[in-house]
Amino acid sequence: MAENSFIISGENLIKIYEGNIRALDDMSVSISGGKITVILGPSGSGKTTLLNILALLDRPDSGNVLLNGKDTSFLSEKEKATIRNRMFGFIFQFFHLIPELTVEENVMVPLMIRNPDVSFDVHREKAITLLEEFHIENKKHSYPNQLSGGEKQRVAICRSLIGEPEIIFADEPTGNLDRKAASELISLIEILNKNKNIAFVIATHNENFLKIAANVIYLSGGKIVHRG
Ligand SMILES: Nc1ncnc2c1ncn2[C@@H]1O[C@H](COP(=O)(O)OP(=O)(O)O)[C@@H](O)[C@H]1O
Ligand SMILES: [Mg+2]
């Protein structure tokens, strides 16, 4: 069961891209452990930029991201990578599976990075247990290009879970799924949140996520226009 006591807060975040594009135009958000937070807004409103900054993949031009009250701007890239590997999981619109690796190898990757000295077989066993839990163990020797979109996203979920994260960041996770696979993914996220107490931050266009959200942040033009 994930701990649920952490808080990630973004304070007065500003991110400006070339051409004076204010992707984040001074916004403050707070993400609590154990909760599903949905970031909703039209294309170009700043969802991905916000998600990547909160997940310590990118830095703001000004403002701070605090993890349990501690400013993360002083952390080295290596320290941030360790936090991402140990505490965070990631799911993406285009799945980001490694095409040259099989399904089970893709799922093992975060543990191989974390514990390179542990035998592959130990990591493999964990990967297979997850693949069984998500009913996709029959594809363990397949390559990503042999899977449907829904299957790829289930493999990506297994990969995001193998490190036992406290929070999963998901960027448009239903963006390349048909309606049925999208609705299955939403139910799965709800179950993972309830049963394993994993927090989610989900950037999406898909209003069906509102059904499972504890908090909703509506963005437009790099600003928060509403909180629900
Ligand atoms: N790497 C980048 N370089 C320049 N502009 C960018 C970059 N990433 C995003 N932007 C711009 O920042 C704004 C917000 O983008 P993004 O966060 O990707 O929005 P969303 O995820 O809501 O579609 C958009 O105007 C986008 O074009
Ligand atoms: Mg985006």
Q: What is the pLDDT of residues 182-227, one digit of tens each?
A: 999 999 999 999 999 999 999 999 999 999 999 999 999 999 999 9
Residue 21 lies in a domain: no
Residue 59 lies in a domain: no
Residue 12 lies in a domain: no
The atom number, within ligand 1, closest to the CA of 50 reads 17
The CB-based long-range contact list for 185-190 (8 Å cut-off, 24+ gap) reads 185/150, 185/153, 185/157, 186/211, 186/212, 188/134, 188/154, 188/157, 189/36, 190/36
Residue 182 lies in a domain: yes
**Binding site membership of 45 for ligand 1 (Cβ less than 6 Å):** yes
* Parent domain of 81: 35-40+76-227
Q: Is 150 helix (H, G, I), strand (E, B) or coil?
A: helix
pTM of the model as a whole: 0.95
Number of Cβ atoms within 10 Å of the Cβ of 192: 20
**Binding site membership of 49 for ligand 1 (Cβ less than 6 Å):** yes
**How many domains does the structure of the chain reveal?**
1
* pLDDT tier at 87, thresholds 50, 70, 90: very high
Q: What is the pLDDT of residue 149?
A: 93
Q: How far is the CA of 129 from the centre of ligand 2 (A)?
A: 32
21-78 per-position pLDDT tens digit: 999 999 999 999 999 999 999 999 999 999 999 999 999 999 999 999 999 999 999 9
Closest-lying ligand to the alpha carbon of 13?
1
